[in-house]
Amino acid sequence: MLHPLLTPIGGTATWLAQIGPYGAWGDLEWTTRWGEGACGMYEAQWSMPLPPDFDHPALRSGTLVELMDGPWRIGSPLILAEPARGSGFNQPWQFTATGIGREVEGENSFYAFDAGSNTTSVPSTAIDAAISLQGLRWSGRDASVSTAAVGSSTSTDQLNTIGALLNTSADSLGKRWGVGQDNRVYFYSDPTTPTYNVIPGVASLGVADDDYASVVFVRYLESVSGTYQTASASSPPAITRYGRREYPTDVTSLGAITTATAQGFADGILAKSKARLGWTNGLTLTSNQILTAGGEAADLSKVAEDVAGGCMVRLHGIFNDLLEYNGQTWLDIIIGEAKLTDGEDSISLSPMGLAKRDLASIVEEVSGVGDVAA
Amino acid sequence: MKLTYGALDLTASPYLIEFGLDSGAPQNVSEALAFLLQDGEVELSSRASNRTLAFNVLIEGANLLALATAEQNLVAETEKPLNLLTLDPEDSGPPTVYEVFRAQVSLVRDDDWERSRIRRYAVEVRAYPFVRSTQTFTSTGAAPGGTTTTTLDACGSATGWTGTVNGASATVSAVTGPPTTIGVSGTFPLDQKYILTLQKTFAATTTSTNLLVVDWLGTGSILTATGDGVELERFAEGASPTSGYTRTWFRVAAASLAVTRFTLVSAGVPAVRSLQIDNVAVTNASPIVGGNRQQLRSLSVPGSARTQGSLAVQSETSALGDTIVYVYPSDDSTSGYTPSLRQFRGSGNTVTPDTTKVSGSTEPLTGLGVTFNIPIGLFPYGLYLLMGRLATSGGGTPLITYSGKTNIGGLGLTQVGGSTTITTTTAYQNFALGRLILPASDLDPAAASVALMSLTVQASSTCTYDELWLFNTSIGRLIQVNCGTGTAVLGGPARRLFIEPATTRTPRPTVRVGHAADRSDSHYPTGAFPSWQIPEFSPPLVNALVVTSNATDAVITLSGYARWHTHAAS
């Protein structure tokens, strides 16, 4: 059973069992994600039976929340939103905390400045300034974080969130970014080998072509000639099987960039999210249905924790997702989201590339973080 | 029979209890999961919900005013949000206490009874699932100490030993090994309960060396012992110095020990099952792992149901220091499991003895690191937290890397591992280094008895370890409080740690530290402490690993009420 630890801004850490007349909480559900935007600990929710007029300094917006398994924090910290107060013990208070990596996403977040308060297009510069000058509560950055400017200049004309800067930089490198268990930001590569195995007969995935594209075009302003040019990347096997479909990306807002940089964008976007069919459904598994590499039943909290850092799962008994029999009796998928209710014996896993078919997911996609503007 | 509701005796005038009291039953909260069963489900249940009692109370009075007054007194008790309902059979059985909540009382009106000045009230009340005894129990783990051990039998031959298999006489065989052992075995079909015994008559004096200690092997089983026909209380259990074996300590209350019988009881998959004994001794040395700062204890939990227990770790002389209390069940899956790893050290750097340290030694983790050969069969399946007590002269941020692989003979199986960067100081501190599922490979129970896991831990730069632990957080609960070092004073470094459970009366659990024995100064630790998991106490025993980095005389105590299904037995 996880025990949340809360640290209010400027205050001392308090175990959740020490808060309130009962020190009790319930329905603790937490989600980790891997994919577009901040990877890692995504969200946690729980409820507490508290009097309507109760007050505690730790139960306020901005409090740092850590989900603890003994002395071990699961994933990165989270930031608490203002709780929804209940009207009585039959209607408990509801709490929602978002992963600390998401602090730099969205309009009211952290913007990319350098130490002199000028705009910057260098991810490492923006992160260092945000931590030291702007109060971003990350512990630091890994050496994998790019130290190169996004675009032709190290500064930008417009304001950009740090999240948008990291998204664009990661796209150009074919990588992803997120805040890890040590509260440091990393640039990651997608996993290539499976960590877990799902027993045959329990997984069934439907395919979707909502986001399918076999060719990615990137329109850019070439830095040597000063002319607008187009870079492209394509997947001949996907074209052969599903036909040609083209996906455009306009990065002219970055200013003049090199051909190599533009090609990196095209290759990265194609590799991370195109040239394959998506999925229509996720999986709900118990610990006996998902095994470690050694054949032991997986611990579901460990599975969710591993998803935060990139986790590939091998589904046995399913043919390759390109709908062709090639002798392979398994399918490797990267998990895009893991959702777990503390204490329950099943976990919800969504593969990366899950087609957004419900209203909440569509709204989330439409109101996304956008990209860097020069 | 006497039924008392709070301060009210419902079996004394003007009250009567009608026959037919329904004491209800704990309601199991279960979830049915099919897993991969082709038919049916596995019912999983980890808690019970409240029970409901129902009974009728009769009130008789000389007049209507007397009836109303008696009703008033009854309702005064039933309206309390929390109360005690005590059922005393008033014969050989002890009283049973129900913890009840606010009751629903209904008048069952009858005109004839009204004219006779008698009223009947139906009382329905929700209660805590499990009843309790009237008095609390206390289980105390003895303080570290003692250095005298007398070997009773090194088990080099079967002379003097007799054995039985499911009650029938069986041949006791001697094995030259190593290790040299004596044993008895039998072949059992699926899920048949098997009982193996080994018995020998010693001539031991146990006035001072009153702990019987035995090294044995019988994977996935529970070993019990009797001395001269009296069942011996288990004192502690852990890993034996003999690789893969379990060491169990039993407390001998009598002044001598002659006829000694060891009994192994278990059931499971079909196989040849055996009880092998490597060594039998008596000692006055309380079980420690490395030094007096790290203790193994078994604490008895009376009753038939899980109870809320209060734990106390106390030293009469010193501040406790960095304190770890790890509580885990005592059953056949945990037989021989000990989280401490130094005892399994296989190879590494130079070991420097240091009696001020938890493990009694220190050793650098640099270079190729330190490799531990862990008898993985003694480690029950689960998610393990790797922790280390580490320091660096001059401080630093070493990257700690750990990797492990189960080996069967010369075959290495699946590898697991991870890494984390920590910030060390010159003072030894406890660090959480990572989580991993063990065993790393699924093993047949027969293989588990011989398989070893090689776990290597190394640091990228200067870093020294005192002790490393693998705490199974799937089955056990870890509490870690830094109580301070230096002179224990009021309000300063604490020599007492109290871990209190959630109860119906105080639903919020808490942790307190203090100086005074009467708890008059105990308080919630200043600032957060590293780990707080709520411990569980199920009968008949729980195991505890207690680490106190500063105190060498700490004593752990468990107290609480014995819990029962419906009738208390003590």
Say yes or no to pLDDT of B199 above 60.
yes
Q: Are strands B541-548 and B322-329 parallel, antiparallel or unpaired?
A: antiparallel
Residue A315 exposure: Cα atoms within 13 Å on the Cβ side? 21
> Which residues face B544 on adjacent strands?
B297, B327
**Amino acid of residue A76:** S
State the Cα torsion B183-B189-B190-B195 to the nearest 10°: -40
Could you tell me the CA-to-CA distances from A55 to A12, A351, B452 in Å, in that order?
Answer: 16, 40, 53
Mean pLDDT of B395-424: 87
Least confident of A255-259, B337-341, B477-481: A255-259
Tell me chain B's radius of gyration from C-alpha atoms: 28
8 Å CB contact between B265 and B167: no
Q: For A62-82, what is each residue's pLDDT tens digit?
A: 999 999 999 999 999 999 999
Pairing relation of β-strands A246-250 and A215-222?
Answer: parallel
pLDDT tens, position by position, B70-79: 999 999 999 9
Of A22, A39, A23, A20, residue with least CA distance to A31: A39
d(CA B254, nearest CA chain A) in Å: 41
Residue A316: how many CB atoms within 10 A of its CB? Answer: 15
Asked if residue B212 has pLDDT above 80, the reply is yes
CB contact under 8 A, B383 and A302: yes
Determine which of A367-371, B382-386, B521-525 has the lowest per-residue pLDDT on average: A367-371
Q: Pick from A20, A182, A289: which is nearest to B36 by CB?
A: A289
pLDDT of residue B268: 61
Distance CA B167, CA A264 (A): 77
Going across the sheet that includes B382-391, the strands are: B352-353, B361-364, B464-472, B382-391, B429-438
Segment A290-305, tens digit of pLDDT: 999 888 999 999 999 9
DSSP string, A138-181: --EE-TTS--S-SSSSSS-SS--BHHHHHHHHHHHHT-EEEE-T
Q: How far apart are CA A279 and CA A270, in angstroms?
A: 17
pLDDT tens track for B296-333: 998 999 999 999 999 999 999 999 999 999 999 988 78
Nearest CA in chain B to A298: B437
Output the pLDDT for position A369: 44
Query: What is the ipTM metric for this complex?
Result: 0.83
Q: Which range, of A76-85, A355-364, B82-91, B164-173, averages the lowest pLDDT?
A: A355-364
Cβ–Cβ < 8 Å for B475, B329: yes
Nearest Cα residue in chain A from B385: A72
A188-202, A252-266, A296-310: range with lowest mean pLDDT: A252-266
Give A213 or B136, the one with higher predicted confidence.
B136
Whole-angstrom Cα distance, residue A60 to residue A9?
9
| Predicted local distance difference test score (pLDDT) of residue A326 | 62
What is the DSSP code string of B80-131? SSEEEEEEE-SSSSPPEEEEEESPEEEEE--HHHHHTTEEEEEEEEEE-SSE
What pLDDT is recorded for position B22? 93
Pairing of strands B477-482, A93-99: unpaired
Give residues with Cβ within 8 angstroms of B326, minimum separation 6.
B339, B469, B471, B476, B477, B478, B479, B544, B545, B546
Distance CA A160, CA A142 (A): 22
Residue B122's CB is within 10 A of a number of other CB atoms, namely: 14
Residue in chain A nearest B436 by alpha carbon? A302
Spatial distance between the Cα atoms of B496 and B557, rounded to a whole number of angstroms? 11
User: Are B528 and A15 a contacting pair at CB < 8 A?
Assistant: yes
Q: How far apart are CA A41 and CA A179, in angstroms?
A: 8
CB B448 within 8 Å of CB B243? no
The Cα–Cα gap between B188 and B193 comes to 8
Q: How far is B441 from chain A (nearest CA, A)?
A: 4
- Give the nearest partner residue to B31 out of A22, A70, A345, using CB atoms: A345
pLDDT greater than 70 at residue A372: no
Token pair for residue B432?
């959480």
- pLDDT of res. A332: 87
Residue type, B542: V
d(CA A126, CA A131): 9
Chain B residue at shortest CA distance from A293: B414
| Inter-chain residue contact B480 with A23, CB threshold 8 Å | no
Taking the C-alpha atoms of residue B485 and residue B493, their distance in angstroms, rounded to an integer, is: 6
Instruction: Determine the Cα–Cα distance for residues B172 and B274; give it in Å rounded to an integer.
Output: 11
Residues in A touching B478 (Cβ below 8 Å):
70-71
- How far apart CA B141 and CA B249 sit, in angstroms, is 12
Helix (H) or strand (E) holding B147: none
Mean pLDDT computed over every residue of chain A: 87
| Residues B27-40 pLDDT 10s | 999 888 877 788 89
- The DSSP call for residue A119 is B
CB contact under 8 A, B381 and A297: yes
Average pLDDT over residues A26-44: 94
Separation between Cα atoms, residue B543 and residue B299, nearest integer Å = 6
Assess contact for B282 and B149: CB atoms under 8 A: yes
Nearest-Cα distance to chain B for A89, in Å, is 14
Cα–Cα distance, A218 to A230 (Å, whole number): 5
More confident residue, B146 or A292: A292
Give residue-wise pLDDT tens across range B228-279.
999 998 888 888 888 888 899 999 989 999 999 999 887 666 577 788 999 9
Element (H, E) at B2: strand B2-5
Q: Are strands A64-69 and A72-73 parallel, antiparallel or unpaired?
A: antiparallel
Give A68's strand partners. A3, A73
Helix (H) or strand (E) segment spanning residue A137: none
User: What value does the mean pLDDT of chain B take?
Assistant: 90
Other Cβ atoms less than 10 A from the Cβ of B351: the count is: 15
Residue A103: per-residue pLDDT: 93
pLDDT of B91 > 90? The answer is no
Q: What is the C-alpha separation between B259 and B226, in angstroms, rounded?
A: 8
φ, ψ of residue B360 to 5 degrees: the values are: 90, 0
Who's near B49: CB < 8 A, 6+ residues apart?
A: B26, B27, B28, B29, B129
Predicted confidence band of residue A321 (pLDDT cuts 50, 70, 90): low
Indicate yes or no: CB of A24 within 8 angstroms of CB of B508: yes
Q: CB B286: neighbour CB atoms within 10 A? A: 20
State how far residue B551 is from chain A, nearest Cα, in angstroms. Answer: 22
Chain B residues with at least one Cβ partner in A under 8 Å: 31, 33, 35-36, 44, 381-383, 385, 387, 406, 413-414, 416, 420-421, 430, 432, 434-435, 437, 439-442, 471, 473-474, 478, 480, 502, 507-510, 524, 527-528, 530-534
Closest partner residue to B527 among A3, A12, A181, by Cβ? A12
| Contact call for residues B155 and B202 (beta carbons, < 8 A) | no
Q: Do A14 and B473 touch (CB under 8 A)?
A: no
Q: Which two tokens stand for residue A33?
A: 């994600």
CA gap B545, A107 in Å, rounded: 51
Structure-token pair, residue A153:
């200049």
Neighbour count for residue B115 (Cβ, 10 Å)? 8
Q: Give SS3 for A46.
A: strand
Residue B197, pLDDT > 70, answer yes
Q: What is the pLDDT of residue A324?
A: 54
CA atoms of A296 and A116, how far apart (whole Å): 53
Q: How confident is the model at residue A366 (pLDDT cuts 50, 70, 90)?
A: low
Contact between B147 and B292 (Cβ < 8 Å): no
Among A157, A175, A226, A167, smallest CA distance to A373 is for A157
Cβ neighbours of residue B423 closer than 8 Å, sequence gap 6 or more: B395, B396, B397
**3-class DSSP assignment, residue B344:** helix
Residue with the larger pLDDT of the pair A328 and B560: B560
